[in-house]
Structure 1
């Protein structure tokens, strides 16, 4: 018998370390080749580590939430033969990238028993397998998911067995990649607690202690650093969007096969048209170097709530896209963020962020700046109010109008209050005279 040291590989993106967000093995567990070891969190994505060899776990690097440097030992395995002549870093091929945030389980769960080929599937019996050299302990009987009339989902026997133990119907799980349900898809499904989502039994009505790890820790650190280091100020302006909503309705009625327009593409177009006169808004501030970089291109961050937490996919070169192109990109990026398939480059590099709560938008809010940007813009809910409007004869009349407030938060070290207010006023003029949005 020998030992094999699996070192955290260079996952790319220029990262120097990663956080352990989930263990799939513990000391004493038997793991097969390509078996899951751990999920490691980089900047915004989770990377699933797989074992390049079969063996028994004798050491692990740390607990969930610990940080491991690239090249440092992650897992030590006892293997058949002499093991490694010398310890060498694992290759990136040993890691399968997934963009799904993996929540921490209540306690480190033991790895699934090693697969035996052919293996017994959770929903359909197969011939008895030939025992491996190291027979695993007999697994607990799996409870088959209830039949719901769906077609049989594609999944490995190990995934089916785990889904059965958790009481998850695989037909309800939407794969993030291709048509095959993987362990990461089960993790994402477990993280979702909305209607129809799985809820762990026995948790309601009881106090819970949940460690802040992974994406939630990143969000907490970023928000704390933003509020700690940036002197925020906020400004709110009221805008009449009656004419804008009428134009949006007309465009949607004649869109053909184009995506349906929401308010967001219209607002982004107004922002991009206003920004050239306010270059201090479309900027990033490196406070350590004391350098503000003002960008010619608008790489617009779009704050999106996902089952795993807040993500900010980026619309590249938003200033060069028309309304329909913006609408299509918004849909694509929102879906990628929600399903966890967004690439790392689609989640970084924004120069200005818009955060919208949609129908929950409220009357006004004071959004937190997406550091190192210097401003963040937030549209609010559209409400109908009686307003005094000119009657065309020198007087006024009362008319029902659609009103939306626009909130902005700025870094007062870089942006003055006058500039922020003037920028929002420029946006107000554009959306209250929406024909200007379509003018070159």
Structure 2
């Protein structure tokens, strides 16, 4: 039994994916849940598991191809079920049956009547579906060929590369006015005859070409014909000797597409010479196509002042990079952004982190400043629920969320990702640190799941990791705000002691940049939210209360 497997919906809002790597090949045996491919969606790189135990029958998609969710990407022969594809012997028997029927049509008794089968039946395509490998589909698209108009010569009606080449050769020859038959044309001074027509009745005059007795008994009769178009050669049935069929197969030719100059008992009969001439015409047409393409490329690049590729490099605009761009555009042009900047003295926070860092390392946890910042943000969100809200545009409502899922913007090799730490308000400092470190590493390794990249209610991004101070971060829409953390630097600050005396001291200072949706929040709310975050960062002991 053949099991077709479609690209699954691997995450909310994911409509398509790029097949990055096949982990199996056709003919490989696989077990259920074994990874067979890596697919890059607009959110992550995920591994696609096999749904059954069995053997890989066919890979329907090529590496690098972007396909919509629901597209069949691979098919399997399930374990314990026989493969359904006809064997070479079966195909040979089918061809022999066609030849037997051809012989019977000429008035001779078939040698194996039980195997008589028309080629139309052997090559029919069920349910009007077009079966063709990705490479063949791509070639057809490039050459403007409609696959639905081609009768596949492969098993089960599958369209092969030879079928597409035949269609392309016929169309090219027709456009260029090249004859596809090796039958000699008229010599100089002779009038070229038009296509002959046959008639059984006179109709008041001489028929254009009346079948001779020799033709009726099965002998061949040559005739002139104009170079046929693809429609002329698109036959349901072709008579040919077994040797001729083998020649067509060797040349990669669809015998039904070969123009014929002979008939037997009123039906098209193809000779070895016609197959050979058609193959040569195809090669000439393909060569002409290549020359035309190359000429077009030369024209396109003629205006360049440098060789192609010398100072430019092109990459596909797909996957995560494309999704990031779409999200940025949606956010920037949907939510009116306002960015509020400030500085906070985090000298006490630096001391607290240095003290706790060793204890965290004893537990195998790397403690950064981010868990402290997440704690401070959650505390501020509780005091200013507008910043944890979202606009439901469909219902024209503001939704205030009483859960706190903090997204941590992470730079990866393929662009920015935002792993989400869920229920940050219910986790300790070390829990937040451990979970965040794990998610960030998974994002950078491209092993993170789509579910771990969605559902955030507020996002924090660290621009200080690469030396930045201030930024104007774009909101992770549809959230209401995003907080950018700058680098902690030693700066001179005026410090007032308990007696009111002032002095200038070097202090550890962090910059904050809060972007928020001005539809939801006014500037005053954004400033008060930032002040609350600063209060907790200046006095990290307050975080113990959270």
Q: Structure 1 residues 208, 288: closer, same or farther in 2, change over 3 A?
A: farther
Q: Structure 1 residues 339, 61: closer, same or farther in 2, change over 3 A?
A: closer
Q: Distance in 2 between matches of 1:16 and 1:343?
A: 12
SS in 1 for 2:435: helix
Q: Distance in 2 between matches of 1:68 and 1:427?
A: 43
| Partner of residue 68, structure 1 | 68
| Partner of residue 400, structure 1 | 506
2:438 paired residue among 303, 321, 332: 332
Q: Distance in 1 between matches of 2:368 and 2:57?
A: 54
* C-alpha contact (below 8 Å) 2:21/2:39 kept by paired residues: no
Matches for 1:380-419 after TM superposition, within 5 Å = 380-419=486-525
Q: Structure 1 residues 24, 266: closer, same or farther in 2, change over 3 A?
A: closer
SS in 2 for 1:226: helix
Per-residue deviation, 1:357: 2.9
* C-alpha contact (below 8 Å) 2:10/2:450 kept by paired residues: no
SS in 2 for 1:280: helix
1:266 paired residue among 372, 375, 380: 372
Q: Distance in 2 between matches of 1:298 and 1:331?
A: 18
| Partner of residue 475, structure 2 | 369
Q: Distance in 1 between matches of 2:348 and 2:357?
A: 14
2:325 paired residue among 203, 220, 243: 220
SS in 1 for 2:376: helix
| Partner of residue 19, structure 1 | 17
Unaligned runs of 5+ in 1: 88-202
Per-residue deviation, 1:31: 2.4
Q: Distance in 2 between matches of 1:69 and 1:394?
A: 67
Greater fraction of residues in strand: 1
1:281 aligns with 2:391: no
| Partner of residue 535, structure 2 | 429
Q: Structure 1 residues 32, 63: closer, same or farther in 2, change over 3 A?
A: closer
* C-alpha contact (below 8 Å) 1:302/1:314 kept by paired residues: yes
Q: Distance in 2 between matches of 1:367 and 1:401?
A: 26
| Partner of residue 463, structure 2 | 357
| Partner of residue 350, structure 2 | 245
| Partner of residue 235, structure 1 | 340
| Partner of residue 418, structure 2 | 312
Unaligned runs of 5+ in 2: 78-82, 88-123, 128-307
CA RMSD, Structure 1 to Structure 2 (Å): 3.5
| Partner of residue 44, structure 2 | 45
SS in 1 for 2:386: coil
* C-alpha contact (below 8 Å) 2:56/2:75 kept by paired residues: no
Residue-pair matches, total: 317
* C-alpha contact (below 8 Å) 1:65/1:213 kept by paired residues: no
Per-residue deviation, 1:328: 1.0
Q: Distance in 1 between matches of 2:427 and 2:36?
A: 43
Per-residue deviation, 1:230: 1.3
Q: Distance in 2 between matches of 1:270 and 1:16?
A: 33
* C-alpha contact (below 8 Å) 1:21/1:213 kept by paired residues: no
Q: Which moved more, 1:403-412 or 1:12-21?
A: 12-21
Q: Structure 1 residues 373, 221: closer, same or farther in 2, change over 3 A?
A: same
* C-alpha contact (below 8 Å) 2:349/2:540 kept by paired residues: yes
SS in 2 for 1:410: strand
Per-residue deviation, 1:375: 0.5
Per-residue deviation, 1:38: 6.3
Q: Deviations over 1:281-328 (max 9, x none)?
A: 112333344333221111000111122321111111101112111111
SS in 1 for 2:465: helix
2:85 paired residue among 81, 84, 94: 81
Per-residue deviation, 1:18: 2.0
TM-score calculated relative to the size of structure 1: 0.63
Q: Distance in 1 between matches of 2:9 and 2:29?
A: 17
Q: Which moved more, 1:203-212 or 1:395-404?
A: 203-212
1:302 aligns with 2:297: no
Q: Deviations over 1:209-245 (max 9, x none)?
A: 1111111111111111111211111001110011111
Q: Deviations over 1:149-185 (max 9, x none)?
A: xxxxxxxxxxxxxxxxxxxxxxxxxxxxxxxxxxxxx
SS in 1 for 2:385: coil
Q: Deviations over 1:402-427 (max 9, x none)?
A: 11111110011111111110000011
